[in-house]
Amino acid sequence: MSALPTLIRAEDVLSERFTAGQARAMDLKYGNEELLYGLDLLGVAGPFSRLSPWELQDVNGERLIMAASYAATPFGEMHPDLTGFMTEFMQKNRAMTLPQQSVSPWRAALGANLVALLASQLPSHKDSQVFFCSSGTEAVEGALKFAKASRPSASYFISFRGAYHGKTYGSLSLTPNPEYQDIFRPLVPGALHSPYGDLEALRTLLRRVGPKNVAAIIVEPIQGEGGVIIPPAEFLPGIGELCREHGIICIADEIQTGLGRTGHWFESAAQGLDPDIITLAKPLGGGLSAVGATIARHGIYKKMLGGLSSKRHSNTFGGGALSMAVGLRSLELLVEQNLPERSRQLGAQGLERLNRIKGRYPGLLQDVRGQGLLLAMQFHPVVGTLPLPGAVKELAYEATAILAMRELHRSGVIANLSLSSKRTVRLSPALNMPEELFGELMDRVDDFADRNPSAGKLLTNTPPELLARLTAFAATKPKKRTPSDG
């Protein structure tokens, strides 16, 4: 029998005896090496440690303001309002932790609260039911299966160009981005895409394939990963009408927009859509745990999970007590602190500041967009209008957001890329960020813009040797990497 290895002890990680250097080396070695190597080259890979719920420190002691996390940290890092309750939960909870085969008080309470909250905005949902899971993409998979079970003879699903619904096979098939899809073809059959915001194009597509053949239309009320794209006012209500007219299931993917991020509890409802199914995830986990939910009308829920078919869709961890407790407390905090309203107020200030920067530096920012605390800066390409071959242009576009993210980082701001928009960087800070700190965050974005008054500056502010390493990284085949200074 071979001897067991000496394992890294959990206590050593907690007490930071397991050092930042060890973490970096091992995360590259055993994790997604290429991604971390690229981020490490840019100097944005961390590891970071928490100074406050909204501020991090890098390994050099620099203080950074957190405006990233892909809209999944409504209260910042480990806010005591959430962690205090979870500590109590760990000490006092007596309910089963994984109650797959039994009633759970935690799942019951969160399910009831989600439906009550949804019905307060959309009364037609008063009898809706919830299926819990552990990620956004899984919530979307559930939604697609609910829709298909309701319309089993319909073989098409429609999503929109620029959409992002996740990266498992079903959700990926409805995320029309060649970077994520191409190598995995053939995808789930029947996925169709229509231009976002264009009702006439959707009507034409429906006529072409026949509405009775369409199981569902899935839409983000605002496209997040697409770069914060807000559709025209008539778009969502128009989708609702088309779905009602033809009996097509309407799915609103609120994984990024829902529960306050865009200034409303449910962005679809705010825009006049009453969807049949709503998917939620990110903020429901409070930035602490993985919680996803698919909320469906009673009749739709029963079609997939009725009678002896009630095991037709299931998972091991969805509805577990730990994640339900996090979800329950998170929802409570969002409501108690009226964070959608706060998101609206801070977001309006942020957008105004971004618009002023765009006015000052029109050669840097092509556009700024935002609603609530989902803010986007779309940059001009770093290579200007140079006529370049397609592949080089693609690379230059990608480099634009990456270099902007690096420069923002140098100004002390952790920002997000947009997974389906190459020249857009997003700011999605915690909804409860103190106003003064939010002001400082925007001051730092000002500083970033002052240092990069045009998109070309993003390139010339990057040291040539780093540019060479980044180009080599982009051009070479994957190989074993070592951390940039290792």
- Catalog residues that contact ligand PLP under the rule CB under 6 A: 70, 135-137, 140, 164-166, 220, 224-225, 253, 255-256, 281
To ligand PLP, the closest distance from the beta carbon of 253 in angstroms equals 5
To ligand PLP, the closest distance from the beta carbon of 251 in angstroms equals 11
By beta-carbon proximity to ligand PLP, the closer residue of 165 and 422 is 165
By beta-carbon proximity to ligand PLP, the closer residue of 199 and 255 is 255
By beta-carbon proximity to ligand PLP, the closer residue of 291 and 304 is 291
Residue in the structure block whose two tokens are 């029947």: 190
Q: Give me the half-sphere count of Cα atoms (radius 13 Å) on the Cβ side of residue 132.
A: 30
Q: Which residues, in sequence order, are CB contacts of 117 under 8 Å at separation 6+? A: 265, 331, 335
Please name every residue paired with 280 in a beta bridge, in sequence order, or none if there are none: 293
Residue type, 345: Q
Q: How many residues does the chain have?
A: 486
Residue 426: strand, helix, or coil:
strand
**Helix boundaries (H) for 307-389:** 321-336, 339-360
To ligand PLP, the closest distance from the beta carbon of 16 in angstroms equals 28
By beta-carbon proximity to ligand PLP, the closer residue of 285 and 340 is 285
To ligand PLP, the closest distance from the beta carbon of 417 in angstroms equals 11
By beta-carbon proximity to ligand PLP, the closer residue of 58 and 267 is 267
For residues 396 and 256, give the distance between their C-alpha atoms in angstroms, rounded to a whole number: 27
Residue 105 tokens, joined? 């008080």
C-alpha radius of gyration, the chain, whole number: 23
For residues 41 and 32, give the distance between their C-alpha atoms in angstroms, rounded to a whole number: 14
By beta-carbon proximity to ligand PLP, the closer residue of 38 and 166 is 166
By beta-carbon proximity to ligand PLP, the closer residue of 159 and 462 is 159
For residues 331 and 458, give the distance between their C-alpha atoms in angstroms, rounded to a whole number: 40
Cβ-proximal residue to ligand PLP, closest one:
136
To ligand PLP, the closest distance from the beta carbon of 177 in angstroms equals 12
To ligand PLP, the closest distance from the beta carbon of 287 in angstroms equals 12
Q: Which residues, in sequence order, are CB contacts of 30 under 8 Å at separation 6+? A: none
CA distances from 172 to 70, 159, 268 (A): 18, 11, 22
To ligand PLP, the closest distance from the beta carbon of 139 in angstroms equals 7
Residue 342: strand, helix, or coil:
helix
To ligand PLP, the closest distance from the beta carbon of 166 in angstroms equals 4
Q: Of 379, 390, 389, which Cα lies nearest the Cα of 456?
A: 379
Residue in the structure block whose two tokens are 């970033």: 448
By beta-carbon proximity to ligand PLP, the closer residue of 256 and 268 is 256
